[in-house]
Structure 1
Amino acid sequence: MKTVARQIVGVYFVGIFVLIPGLWAATMNGYGGWDSMVGQLQFSNVSNFSTFLMDPSTGTLYLGARDAILAVDSSSLRQKHTQIIWNVPEDKQQSCVGKGKTEGDCHNYIRLLEFVADGRIYACGTYAFDPQCAVINMLDFSLERAEDGSVRMETGKGKCPFEPSQHYTAVMADGVLYAATTSNFLGTLFDISRATGSEGERIRTEQSINWLSDPEFVSSSFIKERSDTGDDDKIYFFFTEVAKEYDLYTKVKVSRVARVCKGDVGGMKTLQKRWTTFLKAQLVCEDRASGQRYNILTNVFTKEHRPGDPSSTQFYGIFTSQWEREELSAVCMYSLADINKVMAGSFKELKKNCENWMNPDPIPNPRPGQCITRALKAAGFESSLKLPDKVLTFVRDHPLMENSVVSAPLLVRRGITYTRIAVTLTPTANSDQGSAAVLLLGTDRGELHRVSVVGQNATLLQEVPLFTAQEPVNNILLYQDQALVGSPLSLARVAAEGCGVYPTCEECARAQVLGCKWSLKEGTCTPILIGPLQVESEDALKLCDTGEARCAPVLKELRVVEGLRVLLPCVQVSPRPCHWEYPPDRHTRQHHAHLEVTVTTASLGSYTCYCEEGRRDGPACRRATYTLTLEGPQVGVSVSLAGSRQVVAVYLFCFMAGVVFGGFLLHLFRKRRGIRHAPEKGRDLLPSSDTPQSPSSTSLLSEGVPLTEKRNGTLNGHGGLYSNAGGLKLQESAANLAEELGSTDRMGRLGAGLGARSEEELRSEDETVVERVDERMDAFRGAPLAQCEENSF
């Protein structure tokens, strides 16, 4: 145990010394040194940051955490921050725990921070599964209090979730809060509501699975869409829910966008205090070439491509797939015009008699779900209260649109899980291409990825590690020329755009389409200020000394042995396909962009992955290259399963022979010394049945020697083998024999009778034991060995 403890301590200290340089490199890599990073140690007893709010007039960043709200100067993160403690009383925490919740969840997790009028902030927290809201005075950064000194609070139900981990979104529109959250303690009821304002103006969704079916809310946006027709402003909600239009054996999740009008006040009789403009449509993110569809939405960023023009709004969403087991992320973009076009289309209806979705006909007039425009007001419909019951009944029963909002992925990454997205627009070097979108993508491993998107071409520019692998990125906020990136424990500030963010020649060459070039004289990435782009991308990569460029990867040599299976990774950024070049005599299998190779003498050689990232007729980009070389057999890797079973059989035979021989030597020793032992002493001579050395212990033999998770010599990173279940009968018989011969009771009786028995009696008994062992071992020798399992990947 001391040896194991010393090894654990050694690994711990090695991890510390490995981690510290990594954090230093991540912090000092061109982003302002330690001033760029605010870690958990600088926030005394504060963690679980979940909400960001930026005051653009002062540059102050407000952070919502567990039991606290912090104010940080974004221009200098090292300056001392101020904080408000807003915790839960002890008796309320105990009551929460008594209802079956964990102590960790029975705190006040701040989930909402939004500006309201007169320099105040509206804040809401879970408050031990009893959501509460309060107002923060920004002048002295304090919670408003009642006359008795207590915090002035109001209920947060419908404004804030009950549980810290529940999916939730909210947005403030002209001082009124619109929220999408759970509305009960159990988390089984869901609402999209106008959560503040006068009591008569508070309306919400209908409690119907046709409106919301077990949704997971993702994001919300307030879009001012007033035009010459007098159209109303709208609030858009993005979420994933269980589809009711698909009648399959399993629950199918789909991504949705829902829309409500800001001026909606509900119906007079039908849909009273309910939305009369609630419409939703499916978001489809699909790669048509491969037929791959990504159906689960995880995050959305709203961006106006032309500032001041709401019609140019684009929504960038991160998707994953319900059907994929491996990590996978895709990014799709949807325009506001495409969403509005679908919302103005036909409705979807479920016919109860045949259980098929069909288009209803006819649609009543005025059109259900539309906002109150000048034309409707001229026709006598001044508000939603004036709408006819047939219109309200129709929109109540048909909230789903027939058509879907379809988009192709801008990029697809396998082996990566993106958690947050932000988008900046940068002029390109080629004026004909307009502007390029630079995607800032946070991962679940604390990294920030930069990807440029020009037309249909996506290029991975940079991967920056910001936090430890256990800290997922949960917030990205853009302010001026910087991006504030947060995790549950830390905060980092990095440059949002500009050529200076690319510290190496290779990264600068990838960003050439953004108007960047590498200055050999200065050793920095500088913008191209005058004239058009003169150097082609491939030529720019050749200017770099090292070969670690986007289309010139480093050759990696892998030393392997025959019979192994190795997986050669290839990073696929664009949704367009990748292909491999390899030796003709081989046994391979492609998993998306990655390649699985079964090592034989004929499969040795060079393997190169090419991915299409530009035009379909353009040259493919070389993303990875490997060479497989053969080395000598390794212990535990090249041994066959048949050999493993023979080794187990020999081991059992030797072990049992050793037990018998040891007992015989013990008998001779006792006879020679003339020592008489009590039964308890006899039991102490055998190992404990709890230890792995004991034949009766299940930890050694009864698990089939599971040295690895792969089977039949498949490499899994540990170089082990998996012994199949066919040898369990042999192991079980050996264990039973060991238990019968080596039981403590028998040895106790043997030790107790040593002095009372004659030498002939003892010799006779020993011969009997040896004969029984020989009989059992003969049975083992004749037992057939189990057949090998079939290879499986």
Structure 2
Amino acid sequence: MPSALSCLPEIFANLLVILCLTRTGYGWLPDLSSKLVNSINRIPSISFKSNASLPDHFTVLYQDDNSILLGGREKVYNLSVFDFNERKDSSIYWASSEAHSQLCNLKGKAEEDCQNYIRILFQTTPGKFLICGTNSYKPLCRILRRQNDKMIVEKEMEGTGLCPYDPEHNSTAVYSSGHLFSATVADFSGTDSLIYREPLRTELSDLRQLNAPNFISSLTYGDYIYFFFRETAVEYMNCGKVIYSRVARVCKHDKGGPHQSSGRWTTFLKARLNCSIPGEYPFYFDEIQSTSDIVEGRYGEDRAEKIIYTVHTTPTNSIGGSALCIFTMASIQDVFGGAFKHQESINSNWLPLSESVVPNPRPGECVPDSRVLADRNVNFIKTHPMMEEAVGAMHGRPVLVRVSLHYRFTAVAVDGQVRTIDDETYDVVYIGTDNGKVLKMVNIPGINSTKAHVISENEVFSINTPIRQLKTAPGYGRVIAVTKDEVKLITLNHCETIHHCNECMELRDPHCAWDLMKSACVSLDAVTSFRYLVQDVKNGNILKCKNSPTNDNEVSVVKHERKEFADDPLEDDGFVDELKSKEAAEEERKECGDLGRVASDYLHMIVGGAIVGGLVFGFVCGYLVSRRFHAHPNAPSFIEQRNHLDRLNVNQNSFLTPRPKTVNLDVLNVSAETLPPKKDNLDSLKNLNITNEGTLQKIKKTYI
């Protein structure tokens, strides 16, 4: 029987193969690890909370370079965008009346719900503001006018269709061309979803237009207002239920249709947003959660692009996946100029409609006066609100994908086109999650692709605290993070935490660069000159650190610059002495550095030699041990002897028992002459001849 020790070389070889395969397997996965992971106590932040015990359902209503207006329970907070100091004199108080609160309680709502949560605030004209609140499940709006540093109520009106009933409801609004465009619900139960601009709205209970939507955001672009939302896909109903991400648009100057359509949109269209990993069977991230504002810049091409960043997730009952996608406004417009979806009957498939049956002027486009459109045009837009093609993501795939059991993306904000010392521009993107984290990443565009580099993953709030909104604040790395009951001004500028040039280069943060003179990683918004800075966001090349004053090359560069700028008033004797001291220190560091580089260069050779030596040593030891303990080739094994003896002891009367055979001593290879005599404890000699009576039974008992 082979010895266990003789198998050691084979075991070592198998382990080596497994390690190699495992290391190769890691190479198949994208490098999405964060360079920095910061706990909540390492993030500089300023927190703001109200003093009351009831939740505030905070939301950012308005923001400029100096202030941020925060909507909460019965109040609009005016905070400084720099230090979060509350300007109490500029705050707006608006509580529900006692009658409205009592009516809300009678309808079965809790005390928490029967408050006035401010959801909308826009400046309509200089000195005038439109403000709307839930008002204890009876939405109300006011026109406020500033007079002598005080806000005077000029007008009060119903807010149905403009403001949600429930502060938790996903709603959005944008003010443009003297009108408020809103996407919300228009009833107490929250089932009548609509896109509204007085007096126009989407069709009531028409699942082809809106089917249980969750509105995310809205923006104005050109002659249109765009709404982003997720909803149950009516075109997929024959195959089950699924949620799709959508973008819809209406014309700003839509005046409604003729006759019976005077209160309905004549330009409402919607299309699917396709954020997916491509392949034979694409993997979709169907549920949009947040969008950024429009960002304009150059992304691997000469021409400028206007884009928006969106975050999407998989359904809550599936694999926990999140993705960041980019959509260009040009691609969105192109889809709305394409083919329409058409369903012949309620059980038919949705197919593209032939262009020959599309009326002229094309439905969905702005016209001078929609009230004079033919009935054919108005009826067409009611029955064909969906576009055939989906809006594809930029470069056909997400910028960033995260599969995690711990969190999903919930919010996104962008510090657009941050300029580096090489006069290049990059977008710094902040992504919030549903467990209180904020990811900081940089979008590194290429000619036909784009790459996301995650700079840091930061724990901003406690676990299980979803981040609802993210907004950028003045200054590099400053972000406003909003949750249900707390708002934080956080600083995600990690430059000062980096102490080595290599780490500063590998961070690839457009906000940071290495200062050759100070030997420090500095923030670009805190420097006045780029003269001694090095930075490489695109590649993170640490070789640029060789130009540091801590190397001979940099010393010679500094000497050369001293000669070139000899008239510089900073070039005095103190500077020369400082430079000489740096040269002396550098000589010592260089010697140590050479040893380190030599060790690094030969480290892999040492490790490889150790592995090979271990394998050879194990093989030799195993071979020698197996030779020492290996049985004689002619000797029967223990198992064979035991089986043979068992066969001799089988019940002879059983019908399964073979016919008795005599014991063949030649087969057993045991004889009286060959067995040596054995001494017992009394030093007497005994002959182990198995032919003696009783000896075979003793051997059987011994083995058995």
- Pairwise TM-score range, normalised by the shorter structure: 0.5 to 0.7
1:651-666 residue pairs with structure 2 within 5 A? none
Q: Which amino acid aligns with 2:366?
A: C
Unmatched 5+ residue regions in structure 1?
1-20, 28-35, 147-151, 196-201, 226-232, 373-381, 544-793
Higher relative contact order (CA 8 A, sep 6+): 2
Equivalent residue for 1:529? 530
Superposition pairs of residues 223-622 of structure 1, within 5 angstroms: 223=221, 225=222, 233-269=223-259, 271-289=261-279, 291-306=282-297, 312-322=305-315, 325-352=318-345, 355-361=348-354, 362-372=357-367, 382-407=368-393, 408-415=397-404, 416-427=407-418, 435-455=425-445, 456-481=450-475, 482-495=478-491, 500=495, 508-512=504-508, 514=510, 516-519=512-515, 521-527=518-524, 529=530, 537=540, 539=542
Distance 1:519 1:499, change over 3 A: farther
Residue 153 of structure 1 aligns to a residue whose secondary structure is strand
Q: Is residue 215 of structure 2 the alignment partner of residue 217 of structure 1? A: yes
**Shift of residue 533, structure 1, vs aligned partner:** 5.5
Shift of 1:484: 2.5
* Aligned residues of 1:37 and 1:490 also touching (Cα < 8 A): no
Distance 1:66 1:234, change over 3 A: same
1:652-671 Cα offsets, whole Å, 9 max, x none, are: xxxxxxxxxxxxxxxxxxxx
Distance 1:409 1:397 in 2: 32
Contact conserved, 1:286 with 1:294, CA < 8 A, in 2?
yes
Distance change in 2, residues 1:360/1:212 (3 Å): same
Q: How far does the alpha carbon of each residue in 1:682-728 deviate from its partner, in whole angstroms, 9 at most, with x for none?
A: xxxxxxxxxxxxxxxxxxxxxxxxxxxxxxxxxxxxxxxxxxxxxxx
Aligned amino acid, residue 393 of structure 1: N
Structure 1 partner of 2:100: 92
Secondary structure of residue in 2 paired with 1:112: strand
Partner deviation per Cα, 1:485-510 (whole Å, 9 max, x = no partner): 222232322457x7747656587334
- Measured at CA, do residues 311 and 203 of structure 1 come closer, stay the same or move farther in structure 2, by a change above 3 Å? farther
8 Å Cα contact 2:59/2:482 also seen in 1 = no
Aligned to 1:176: 179
**Cα shift at 1:26:** 2.5
1:457 partner letter = K
Separation in structure 1 between the aligned mates of residue 174 and residue 514 of structure 2, nearest angstrom: 42
Cα distance, 1:138 vs structure 2: 4.5
Instruction: Check whether the contact 2:480–2:487 (CA below 8 A) recurs between aligned residues.
Output: yes
8 Å Cα contact 1:270-1:393 kept in structure 2: no
Q: Give the superposition deviation at 1:323.
A: 6.7
What is aligned with 2:79? 72
Q: Distance in 1 between matches of 2:104 and 2:352?
A: 48
Structure 1 residue 133: Cα displacement: 1.1
Q: Within 5 Å, which residues of 2 pair with 1:48-67?
A: 48-54=56-62, 56=64, 59-67=66-74
Q: Which residue of 1 aligns with 2:49?
A: 40
Q: Describe the SS at the equivalent of 1:453.
A: strand
1:146-183 CA distance string (max 9 Å, x none) = 7xxxxx53111000011111110101113311000001
* Structure 1 residues 504 and 178: alpha-carbon distance in aligned structure 2, compared to 1, 3 A threshold: farther
Measure, in 1, the Cα distance between the counterparts of 2:294 and 2:401. 20
Distance in 1, Cα, partners of 2:426 & 2:374: 48
1:292 Cα deviation from its structure 2 partner: 1.2
Q: Matches of 1:490 and 1:75 in 2, distance apart?
A: 17
SS of the residue corresponding to residue 248 of structure 2 reads strand
CA-to-aligned-CA distance 1:569-599 (integer Å, 9 cap, x gap): xxxxxxxxxxxxxxxxxxxxxxxxxxxxxxx
Residues 397-449 of structure 1: per-residue CA shift (max 9 Å, x gap): 101001110111110112222221111234576969x5322111122222221
Partners of 2:402 and 2:144 lie apart in 1 by 41
Change (3 A) 1:429 1:119: closer
In structure 1, distance between residues paired with 2:496 and 2:337: 43
Separation in 1 of the partners of 2:110 and 2:505? 51
Closer, same or farther in 2 for the Cα pair 1:502/1:252, shift >3 Å? farther
Q: 1:26 aligns with which of 43, 48, 51?
A: 43
1:534–1:48 Cα change, 3 Å: closer
Secondary structure of the residue aligned to 2:335 is helix
Cα 1:405–1:242 shift into 2, 3 Å: same
Following TM superposition, by how much is the alpha carbon of 1:282 offset from its aligned partner in structure 2, in angstroms?
A: 0.5
CA-to-partner distance for each residue in 1:574-626, whole Å, 9 max, x for gaps?
xxxxxxxxxxxxxxxxxxxxxxxxxxxxxxxxxxxxxxxxxxxxxxxxxxxxx
Cα 1:466–1:340 shift into 2, 3 Å = same
Query: SS state of the match for residue 509, structure 1?
Result: helix
Does the CA contact (< 8 Å) of 2:78 and 2:86 recur in 1?
Answer: no
2:346 and 2:408 map into 1 onto residues whose CA distance is 43
Q: What is the rounded CA distance, in whole Å, between the counterparts of 2:438 and 2:462 in structure 1?
A: 12
- Check the 8 A contact 1:519/1:526 in 2, yes or no: no
1:704-783 superposed matches below 5 A: none
Distance, in Å, in 2 between the alignment partners of 1:47 and 1:179 is: 25
CA contact under 8 A between 1:331 and 1:410: conserved in structure 2?
A: yes
Q: Deviations over 1:727-774 (max 9, x none)?
A: xxxxxxxxxxxxxxxxxxxxxxxxxxxxxxxxxxxxxxxxxxxxxxxx
Secondary structure in structure 1 of the residue aligned to 2:381: helix
Deviation of the 1:80 alpha carbon: 5.1
Q: Which has the larger radius of gyration?
A: 2
Amino acid corresponding to residue 266 of structure 1 in structure 2: G
> 3-state SS of the aligned residue for 1:241?
strand
Q: What secondary structure is seen at the aligned counterpart in 2 of 1:246?
A: helix
After superposition, the Cα gap between the structure-2 partners of 1:106 and 1:538, relative to the gap in structure 1 and judged at 3 Å, is: same
The alpha-carbon deviation at position 317 of structure 1 amounts to 0.8
Matched, 1:186 2:189: yes
| Alignment check: 8 A CA contact 2:46 2:83 kept | no
Tell me how far 1:125 sits from its aligned partner: 0.9
The answer to whether the 8 A contact 1:429-1:513 is kept is no
Rate the CA distance shift 1:54–1:504 in 2: closer, same or farther, 3 A. farther
Q: Describe the SS at the equivalent of 2:240.
A: coil
Contact 1:136 1:142 in 2 (8 A): no
- Within 2, Cα distance between the matches of 1:142 and 1:175? 24
TM-score (normalizing by structure 2): 0.63
TM-score (norm 1): 0.56
> Against the structure 1 CA distance between its residues 297 and 387, is the aligned structure 2 distance closer, same or farther, given a 3 Å change threshold?
same
Given that 1:238 and 1:258 are in contact with CA atoms closer than 8 Å, whether structure 2 keeps it comes out as yes
Report how far residue 44 of structure 1 moved. 5.5
Whether 2:203 is the aligned partner of 1:206: answer: yes
